[in-house]
């Protein structure tokens, strides 16, 4: 029973729905609006004729002439124009770091110092070597030393005097001097022979007794001195007493007497005999030389003597000339070369010392610090990271638009940190090659900022005027819509809407350039044409304004019959790579 009751209720509801739908359909038929009318009683016509569609109210705008610019917009990041990890040119212990994160530096400022104690010493040594080389050159340039010149001059005077003596002949004084020299030589020879004979002869009894007596006497002296020393042994200043000094001297005398006794009683030593024999030989040679000199003086000067004396004068003159100017031109050049070598060594030492000072390569700010004082710094371990004060914006441009960019081109930049504010800049570089993965080209823009508002890491929008025309047909973007992949607009003439296929050129924020499809002065629907079709009657509800001005809105836009996904309105912005292109070629 319960199932039958539910089925009955469902049937009643279905009947009510069908009845309602039927009434609505009947009410929507031509001639059925506004109540039931007799056939043929419809307004304005015979019975059964279709009712005319009323004119659609629309807003229109005129196609005008004016200037237009195409702007390309790209997103990019602000980065430092130069960023480098600063490393030392040599390895060493990090002695001092003069900067920290955020420290501003100028090009050439010292960032850090390595231990340079040894390098300082090497510089001082090289400078000392240079001073020595310079002093050597000064000595060579200044001539001979005064004392050397004076000695050579005296030797020349003596040689000349000797030559005069030889040339003049011997005097009686010379003869007497030569004889005296012979006599002295004979005396020395006799003494040498006597000394040799005494060494070879044995000691006599008297000599032996004398030697023993000397030993005994000195031994007694030691005993007496020892007794005196023992008598004052209690004194604290014993070492400084006369008794201590006397004991020491007595001991020395005794040891000397004993040593002499032992030597004399042991017989002559071989070395003593050799010395005595050599003395005899030398005395004999001296006597022979003195005798020859006496014979020469007595005989007068010979030609050989004159030649020897004259040669001595010439030799003394040459020696004086050498002393006055002892150095040759080659010596001077050699000294100059030594100075050049020493100077180069100084420069090398200073250059090596300079490598211990790590300097900033450009003006900038310290972004990171990697090492602390005391660490070992190497060429592969950076000390700090330095970024330049100048910034740039890097953007990626698609292949289709790269031809529109060139170095020096003006660019307008904006960042979200400063809404409504723009920053002027210029294209600094255009990459000659595309990225292999994205097929985009890297463009770098340098802003003309002086206030430091643009900071590293910010995102910026770069806007570039790609093309512009001073005179063009302009239409507001509100009037253009796409249908079947092509741009269209409704032109209004004589109360009728005419669907026009458009060929577009440049596009800016408000207007599009009309290349084909419309003419200057044409009235074009900008609002109210949501369900508008080609040939529909329209009624202009506004006064046409200039393109780009704000107009009172009306529900709907032209082109309501587009396929799904083809919305009316402004032309699509082509989004390629990281940029947005606001210019679209006409279809």
Task: Look at residue 51 in the predicted model and tell me its pLDDT.
Answer: 59
| 253 confidence band (pLDDT: 50, 70, 90) | very high
Q: DSSP class of residue 30?
A: T
Return the pLDDT at 48: 46
CA distance 512 to 173: 138
Instruction: For residue 478, give the nearest of 489, 462, 463, 491 by alpha carbon.
Output: 489
The residues, any chain, with a CB within 8 Å of residue 195's CB and separated by 6 or more, are 276, 279
- Alpha-carbon distance of 192 to 202, in angstroms, equals 18
CA angle 201, 207, 208 (to 5 degrees): 100
Three-state secondary structure string covering 126-162? HHHHHHHHHHHHHHHHCCCCHHHHHHHHHHHHHHHHH
- Rounded CA gap, 9 and 371, in Å? 88
**Could you tell me what percent of the chain has a pLDDT over 70?**
82
Q: What is the pLDDT of residue 5?
A: 43
| CB neighbours of residue 326 within 10 Å | 16
Average pLDDT, the chain: 81
If one compares 576 and 176, the residue with the highest pLDDT of the two is 176
Q: Where are the domains of the chain?
A: 86-112+356-387, 122-143+327-353, 151-321, 391-581
DSSP state of 400: G
**What is the pLDDT, as a whole number, of residue 417?**
93
Spatial separation of the C-alpha atoms in residues 324 and 334, rounded to whole Å: 20
> 78-117 burial string, b = 16+ CB within 10 Å, else e?
bbbbeebebbbeeebebeebebeeebebeeeeebbbbebe
Residues 481, 489: contact at Cβ < 8 Å?
Answer: yes
443: enclosing H helix or E strand:
strand 440-447
Give me the pLDDT at residue 491, please: 94
pLDDT, tens only, 300-322: 667 777 788 889 989 988 888 87
**53 neighbors 538 (Cβ within 8 angstroms):** no
pLDDT at position 467, please? 81
**Residues facing 15 on adjacent strands:** none
Copy the structure tokens of residue 327.
């150095």
- The pLDDT score that the predictor gives to residue 264 is 72
CA distance linking residue 289 with residue 189, whole number of Å = 13
Q: How far is CA 352 from the centre of its chain?
A: 14
Q: Give mean pLDDT, residues 95-107.
A: 93
pLDDT: which is higher, 293 or 439: 439
Question: Are 88 and 112 spatial neighbours (Cβ–Cβ below 8 Å)?
Answer: yes
* Poorest-pLDDT segment among 268-272, 434-438, 468-472, 525-529: 268-272
Token pair 């000294």 is found at 335
pLDDT score at 331:
84
State the pLDDT confidence band at 383, using cuts at 50, 70 and 90: very high
- Region of poorest pLDDT, from 12-21, 391-400, 502-511: 12-21
Domains 86-112+356-387 and 391-581 share a fold: no
pLDDT at 556: 43
Q: What CATH number does domain 391-581 carry, 3.40.50.1220, 2.60.40.10, 2.40.30.170, 2.60.120.1440? A: 2.40.30.170
d(CA 135, CA 335): 9
- Check: CB of residue 416 under 8 Å from CB of residue 459: yes
CATH code of domain 86-112+356-387: 2.40.50.100
Tell me, what's the pLDDT at 526?
92
In the predicted model, what is the mean pLDDT of residues 486-504? 93
What are 334-367's pLDDT values in tens digits?
A: 989 999 999 999 999 999 999 999 999 999 999 9
Gyration radius of the chain over CA positions? 63
In this predicted model, what pLDDT tens digit does every residue of 532-551 receive, in sequence order? 889 999 999 887 654 444 44
35 alpha-carbon distance from chain centroid? 95
**What single-letter DSSP state applies at residue 43?**
T
Q: What is the pTM of this model?
A: 0.43
Q: Are strands 64-80 and 574-576 parallel, antiparallel or unpaired?
A: unpaired
| 247, two tokens | 């004991």
Phi, psi of 71 (to 5 degrees): -115, 130
Three-class DSSP category at 384: strand
Tell whether the model's pLDDT for residue 161 goes beyond 50.
yes
Q: Which candidate, 149, 152, 153, 144, places its Cα nearest to that of 326?
A: 144
For the cut 60, the answer to whether the pLDDT of residue 9 exceeds it is: no
């Amino acid at each position: 029973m319960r199932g039958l009751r539910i089925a009955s209720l469902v049937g009643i509801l279905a009947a009510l729905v069908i009845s309602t739908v039927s009434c609505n359909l009947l009410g929507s038929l031509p001639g059925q609006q506004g109540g039931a009318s007799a056939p043929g009683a419809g307004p304005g016509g015979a019975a059964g004729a279709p009712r005319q569609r009323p004119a659609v109210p629309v807003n229109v705008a005129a196609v005008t002439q004016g200037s237009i610019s195409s702007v390309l917009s790209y997103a990019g990041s602000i980065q430092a124009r130069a960023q480098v990890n600063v490393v030392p040119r040599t390895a060493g212990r990090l002695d001092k770091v003069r900067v920290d994160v955020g420290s501003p530096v100028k090009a050439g400022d010292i960032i850090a110092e390595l231990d340079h104690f040894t390098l300082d010493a090497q510089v001082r040594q090289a400078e000392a070597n240079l001073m020595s080389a310079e002093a050597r050159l000064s000595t060579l340039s200044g001539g001979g030393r005064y004392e050397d010149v004076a000695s050579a001059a005296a030797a020349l005077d003596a040689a000349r005097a000797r030559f005069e003596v030889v040339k003049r002949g011997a005097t009686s004084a010379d003869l007497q001097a030569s004889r005296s020299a012979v006599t002295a030589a004979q005396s020395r020879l006799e003494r040498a022979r006597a000394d040799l004979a005494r060494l070879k002869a044995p000691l006599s009894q008297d000599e032996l007794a004398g030697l023993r007596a000397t030993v005994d006497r000195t031994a007694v002296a030691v005993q007496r001195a020892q007794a005196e020393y023992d008598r004052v042994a209690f004194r604290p200043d014993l070492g400084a007493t006369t008794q201590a000094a006397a004991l020491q001297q007595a001991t020395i005398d005794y040891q000397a007497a004993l040593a002499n006794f032992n030597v004399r009683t042991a017989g002559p030593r071989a070395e003593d005999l050799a010395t005595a024999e050599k003395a005899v030989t030398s005395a004999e040679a001296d006597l022979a030389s003195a005798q020859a000199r006496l014979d020469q003086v007595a005989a007068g000067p010979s030609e050989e003597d004159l030649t020897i004396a004259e040669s001595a004068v010439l030799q003394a003159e040459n020696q004086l000339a050498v002393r006055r100017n002892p150095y040759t031109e080659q010596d001077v050049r050699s000294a100059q070369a030594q100075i050049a070598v020493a100077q180069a060594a100084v420069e090398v030492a200073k250059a090596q010392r300079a490598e211990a000072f790590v300097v900033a390569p450009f003006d900038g700010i310290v972004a990171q610090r990697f090492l602390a004082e005391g660490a070992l710094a190497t060429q592969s371990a950076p000390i700090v990271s330095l970024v330049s004060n100048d910034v740039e914006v890097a953007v990626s441009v698609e292949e289709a638009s790269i031809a529109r960019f060139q170095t020096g081109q003006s660019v307008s930049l904006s960042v979200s940190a400063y809404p409504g504010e723009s920053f002027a800049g210029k294209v600094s570089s255009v990459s000659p090659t595309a990225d292999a993965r994205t097929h985009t080209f890297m463009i770098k823009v340098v802003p003309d900022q002086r206030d430091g508002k643009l900071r590293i890491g910010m995102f910026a929008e770069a806007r570039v005027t790609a093309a512009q025309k001073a005179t063009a047909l302009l239409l507001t973007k509100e009037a253009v819509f796409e249908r079947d992949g092509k741009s269209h607009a409704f032109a209004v003439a004589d109360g009728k809407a005419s669907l026009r296929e458009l060929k577009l050129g440049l596009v800016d924020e408000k207007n599009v350039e009309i290349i084909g499809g419309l003419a200057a002065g044409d009235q074009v629907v900008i609002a109210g044409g949501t369900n508008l079709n080609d040939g529909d009657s329209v009624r202009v509800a506004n006064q046409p304004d200039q393109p780009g001005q704000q107009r009172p809105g009306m529900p709907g836009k032209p082109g309501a019959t587009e396929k799904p996904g083809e919305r009316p309105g402004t032309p699509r912005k082509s989004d390629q790579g990281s940029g947005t292109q606001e210019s679209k070629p006409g279809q």
